[in-house]
A = this chain, B = another copy of it.
Amino acid sequence: MPRDTLTTERIVRTAIELLDAEGLEGLNMRSLGERLGSAATAVYWHVKSKDNLVKLAGDEVWNEIELPDLDAVDWRTAATTMAHSLYDMIIRHPWLVMAMGTHVMYGPGKSRHDDHGLAIYEKAGFVGADADRAMATVFIFVLGITLGESAAVTLTRRLRREGGDAEEQMKEMMAQASEIAMRFPRLHARIEAVQDAGYGEAPDKSLEFGLQVIFDGLEAQLAAR
């Protein structure tokens, strides 16, 4: 077998590269083909459709998530580790959230992740559907928190692609948003406070905060059982 034969794996891997670099909208079969060194339509022998390819890519990335050893640490530590690992993964692949909004993702990669997640919350003391729900609460929160980041990345890329100074347009857009928000008293106060503080604060402060809140809440559920 010559070395640049197409394989489904190679296609998926290359698609992930392209998705990371260009986003969901930036992935097209022609540039994928070019990157693979073959005709665009050659891919169709290995993969049913673009949707299918996105689904494969969207499952594959779950394998990057680190699964903590549950015998070595308490459930809350394990859950924190996994949540952060999930967060990092999604930030690496900002297209994933959007893909999950249009494609029903369920493959070996995600199953592997989910299974280990369930184990954590079962270890914590949740039984049956409650373990499901506990996992879903954390999981969904992390997913949701990356939505904003995904949108920002996508936007930046779109601006860049359309030519023109992305920085400039971004700033203008922010200014416009601010102007609207300023008309509301509490948003007004918040924006001023943020500006005074010099735009500081790492974005994942809200990840920390949210996880803390949710884990506390889960412990309350366990105690009240």
Contacts and interface: CB of A to CB of B under 8 A. Distances in A.
A180 interface: yes
Nearest to A156: B104
A111 interface: yes
A133 B173 contact: no
Interface in A1-32: 24-25
A186 B118 contact: yes
Contacts of A119: 186
B213 A115 contact: no
Interface string A90-117: 0000000110111111111001101100
Nearest to A113: B184
Given A102-B151, A151-B104, A216-B220, A144 B133 contact: no
A124 interface: no
B104 A187 contact: no
A151 to B, nearest CB: 5
Contact of A145 (B51, B129, B130, B140): B140
Interface bin, chain A: 35 or more
A152 interface: yes
Nearest to A120: B186
Interface in A117-168: 118-119, 122, 128-134, 136-137, 139-145, 147-148, 150-152, 154-155, 158
B210 A218 contact: no
A36 to B, nearest CB: 26
A212 interface: yes
A221 interface: yes
A91 to B, nearest CB: 14
A157 to B, nearest CB: 10
Contacts of A107: 177, 180
A50 interface: no
Cβ-closest 4 pairs across A and B: A144-B144, A217-B217, A213-B217, A140-B144
Given A101-B147, A119-B186, 10 more contacts: A98-B101, A101-B150, A111-B187, A136-B145, A137-B141, A140-B210, A213-B214, A215-B217, A216-B221, A217-B217
11 contacts: A24-B102, A105-B151, A108-B180, A118-B186, A129-B201, A137-B210, A140-B141, A140-B145, A142-B144, A213-B218, A217-B218
